[in-house]
């Protein structure tokens, strides 16, 4: 966890360079070549997305557009095609991240600061829950939502998504909180602050980067989630972008490839921006993975 | 790293000093309990929306609940009938087998190997090459699930990019999604998931002190020997935890398969999540779908326990 809490800038360059390797150039050249080939293989599928989005006559073939046009974007940027689904995605993701962070911060405080017999089994339970396949419980969640009359309700969906991201969020938040030294709070306690006051005034400000990582991680997952809203939200005006993407399929018999690609890019941009924010500003390139790094 | 949570943290936690001889006063017990109050919101949410469905899943698997009709509002208790049906259903063993192939093929073997390979290569390669190739691989990972699924669909479809490339070499490619659905979804998941393992291994390899590999080099160990006898043993724990984690992630992949093949043709790529979805929502047999979900939960739970156990020895 210390990796995230204090990300060393530019790790690569700080790394001592081996002076004992005689064949460095040959190995380096081979490594570069192999990396470039693998990179090209990974890039190919992405090329279609980018080329098709600026091509009026796009198909599933990857080809450089004959003429560059932004018509696809213009066609897609309408309230019902893009803005409403993106707005729904935003509400769901912000709601999920907000609830998750508040609940996780509150839960992490006693877990991190007090020793109780209850803590260890609770953390084991949380860790166990992070491993459960959420996909598996979607069928029972559906029938439970039918019973509670929560189907097609955005708040209900948000609460479920918050519940499913809470185990990992509590886990990460507790780890971040453990790295905040307790001495500062002890000073505050002596000055008469309550536990919650110390949490709000001392711990939270000190672990702001950690909170940002958790928040962005949860937001990121909620933003990209397809299966949960696919099962729980039925009316088109409540569905997030992940579901409305299907409206480019077969509605008028043919698939609007170019528009599909353009919409996909618009929908993907917030995820990309958030990732860049986390990896550049807050943690290392592995900040999101860091929570589970062994 | 993760194991730290499970180990007692003597440095941070303020351990209430047990005054020797003092009686356990009830007031102190109440104060102790009061301190745990902030846990309540999280516990309530998780009990309602996480533990609830799991218990419901076990209960529902013993009923004949359906999506519509009489059994939707008033399901009957039918005992082990769903599970008996499951055992006799030829699709179920096939589905377990396909899930195993998918998980082993795309996560345990390929993502792990490719991720580790990339991380090792990146240590030797030029910094600019590392950065740009790393960006491309991570890009596949940060795309929203559904977008990645469409991209893969476009790539593998009959008139898609892969066959276009093969045509350039004078070959006529098959319809990958119909003829080789498992191959296509395994490659797709490899494309999408490798970044995670790559980043985990990059971080792990950065923590291996170069002095140690260098000492081995001076002792005459060649490149492959250094890798097998020094580097790999040093990141052994990371390999174990990463393998468990990507297995858990792959086990529950739904969107990618649903968009690319929808489990088809026939049931040739119907992994467990797809099977549960199909039975519950397409054949409106919620009870039966719930039984499949329960089996999946049990498999997930076993993996999860193994994962927790794998985390522990790091500290103990």
Token output for A212: 């940002």
Distance from C-alpha of A119 to C-alpha of A109, rounded to nearest angstrom: 11
pLDDT at B256 over 60: yes
Distance from C-alpha of A245 to C-alpha of A260, rounded to nearest angstrom: 7
Angle at A209 between CA A205 and CA A214, to 5 degrees: 110
Token output for B185: 């979804």
| CATH for B89-314, options being 1.10.150.310, 3.40.50.2300, 1.10.3720.10, 3.40.190.90 | 1.10.3720.10
* Interchain proximity B150–A135, CB inside 8 Å: no
pLDDT at B235 over 80: yes
**What's the mean pLDDT when you consider all of chain B?**
83
pLDDT, residue B70, reads 64
Mean predicted confidence (pLDDT) in A90-102: 94
**CB-nearest partner of B147 from A128, A140, A267:** A267
Distance from C-alpha of B298 to C-alpha of B302, rounded to nearest angstrom: 6
**pLDDT-based confidence at residue B24 (cuts at 50, 70, 90):** low
pLDDT, residue B102, reads 93
Distance from C-alpha of B228 to C-alpha of B236, rounded to nearest angstrom: 11
| HSE (side-chain half, CA atoms, 13 Å) at B296 | 35
**CB-nearest partner of B125 from A31, A112, A170:** A31
pLDDT at B173 over 50: yes
Mean predicted confidence (pLDDT) in B212-220: 84
Mean predicted confidence (pLDDT) in A85-108: 93
Mean predicted confidence (pLDDT) in A243-251: 74
Shortest distance between the Cα of B4 and any Cα of chain A, in A, equals 8
**What's the mean pLDDT when you consider all of chain A?**
80
Distance from C-alpha of B77 to C-alpha of A132, rounded to nearest angstrom: 26
Shortest distance between the Cα of A169 and any Cα of chain B, in A, equals 10
**pLDDT-based confidence at residue A253 (cuts at 50, 70, 90):** low
Distance from C-alpha of A22 to C-alpha of A92, rounded to nearest angstrom: 56
B31-43 core/surface letters (b: 16 or more CB in 10 A; e: else): ebeeebebbebbb
What residue spans define the domains of chain B? 18-81, 89-314
pLDDT, residue A250, reads 61
Query: Going from the N-terminus, what domains does chain A have, and what CATH number goes with each?
Result: 72-290 (1.10.3720.10)
Using a pLDDT cut of 70, give the percent of chain B over it: 89
Residue with tokens 């959420």: A134
Of B67-76, B109-118, B124-133, where does the model show the most confidence?
B109-118
Q: Which residues of A touch B211 (CB under 8 A)?
A: 16
Distance from C-alpha of B122 to C-alpha of B120, rounded to nearest angstrom: 5
Shortest distance between the Cα of A65 and any Cα of chain B, in A, equals 14
pLDDT at A221 over 70: yes
* Interchain proximity A136–B199, CB inside 8 Å: no
- Whether residue A140 contacts residue B276, with contact meaning beta carbons closer than 8 Å, is answered with no
Token output for A202: 């001392």
- Tell which of B3, B15, B53 to mutate to test the A interface (max A CBs under 10 Å): B53
Q: Which residues of B touch A290 (CB under 8 A)?
A: 1, 203
Task: Please spell the DSSP secondary structure of A22-78, one letter per residue.
Answer: TTHHHHHHHHHHHHHHHHHHHHHHHHHHHHHHT-TT--SS----SS---HHHHHH-S
């Amino acid at each position: 966890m210390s990796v995230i809490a204090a990300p060393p800038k530019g790790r690569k360059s700080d790394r001592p360079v081996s002076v004992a390797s005689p064949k460095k150039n040959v190995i380096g050249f081979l490594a570069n070549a192999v990396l470039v080939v693998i990179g090209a293989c990974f890039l190919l599928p992405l090329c279609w997305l980018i080329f098709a989005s600026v091509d009026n006559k796009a198909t599933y073939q990857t080809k450089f557009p004959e003429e560059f046009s932004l018509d696809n974007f213009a066609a897609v940027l309408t309230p019902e095609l893009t803005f409403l689904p993106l707005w729904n995605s935003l509400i769901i993701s912000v709601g999920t991240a907000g609830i998750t962070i508040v609940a996780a911060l509150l839960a992490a405080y006693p877990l991190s600061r007090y020793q109780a017999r209850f803590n260890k089994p609770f953390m084991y339970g949380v860790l166990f829950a992070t491993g459960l396949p959420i996909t598996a419980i979607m069928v029972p969640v559906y029938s439970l939502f039918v019973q509670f009359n929560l189907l097609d309700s955005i708040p209900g969906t948000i609460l479920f998504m918050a519940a499913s991201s809470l185990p990992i969020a509590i886990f990460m938040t507790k780890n971040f909180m453990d790295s905040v030294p307790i001495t500062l709070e002890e000073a505050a306690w002596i000055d008469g602050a309550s536990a919650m006051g110390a949490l709000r005034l001392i711990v939270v400000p000190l672990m702001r980067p950690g909170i940002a990582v958790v928040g962005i991680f949860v937001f990121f997952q909620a933003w990209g989630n397809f299966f949960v809203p696919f099962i729980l939200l039925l009316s088109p005006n409540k569905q997030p972008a992940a579901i409305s993407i299907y409206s480019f399929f077969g509605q008028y018999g043919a698939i609007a490839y170019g528009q599909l690609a353009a919409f996909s890019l618009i929908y993907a941009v917030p995820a990309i921006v958030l990732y860049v924010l986390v990896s550049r500003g807050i943690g290392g390139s592995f900040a999101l993975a860091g929570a589970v790094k062994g | 790293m993760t194991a730290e949570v499970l180990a007692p943290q003597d440095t941070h936690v303020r351990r209430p000093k047990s005054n020797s001889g003092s009686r356990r006063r009830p007031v102190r017990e109440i104060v102790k309990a009061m301190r745990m109050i902030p846990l309540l919101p999280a516990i309530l949410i998780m009990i309602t929306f996480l533990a609830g469905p799991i218990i419901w899943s076990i209960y529902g698997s013993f009923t004949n609940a359906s999506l519509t009709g009489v059994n939707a509002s008033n399901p009957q208790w039918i005992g082990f009938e769903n599970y008996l049906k499951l055992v006799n259903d030829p699709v179920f063993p096939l589905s377990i087998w396909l899930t195993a192939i998918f998980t082993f093929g795309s996560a345990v073997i390929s993502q792990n190997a490719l991720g580790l390979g990339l991380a090792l290569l990146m240590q030797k390669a030029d910094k600019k090459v590392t950065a740009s190739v790393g960006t491309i691989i991570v890009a596949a990972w940060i795309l929203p699930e559904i977008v990645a699924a469409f991209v893969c669909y476009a790539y593998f479809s009959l008139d898609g990019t892969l066959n276009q490339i093969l045509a350039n070499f004078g070959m006529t490619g098959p319809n990958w999604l119909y003829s080789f659905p498992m191959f296509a979804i395994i490659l797709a998941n490899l494309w999408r998931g490798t970044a995670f393992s790559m980043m985990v291994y990059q971080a792990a390899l950065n923590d291996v002190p170069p002095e140690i590999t260098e000492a081995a080099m001076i002792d005459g160990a060649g490149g492959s020997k250094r890798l097998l006898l020094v580097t790999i043993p040093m990141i052994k724990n990371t390999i174990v935890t990463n393998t468990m984690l990507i297995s858990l992630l792959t086990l529950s992949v739904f969107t990618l398969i649903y968009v690319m093949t929808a489990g088809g043709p026939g049931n040739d790529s119907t992994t467990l999540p797809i099977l549960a979805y199909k039975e519950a929502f397409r054949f409106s047999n919620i009870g039966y779908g719930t039984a499949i979900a329960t089996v999946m939960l049990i498999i997930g739970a076993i993996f999860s326990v193994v994962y927790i156990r794998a985390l522990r020895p790091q500290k103990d």
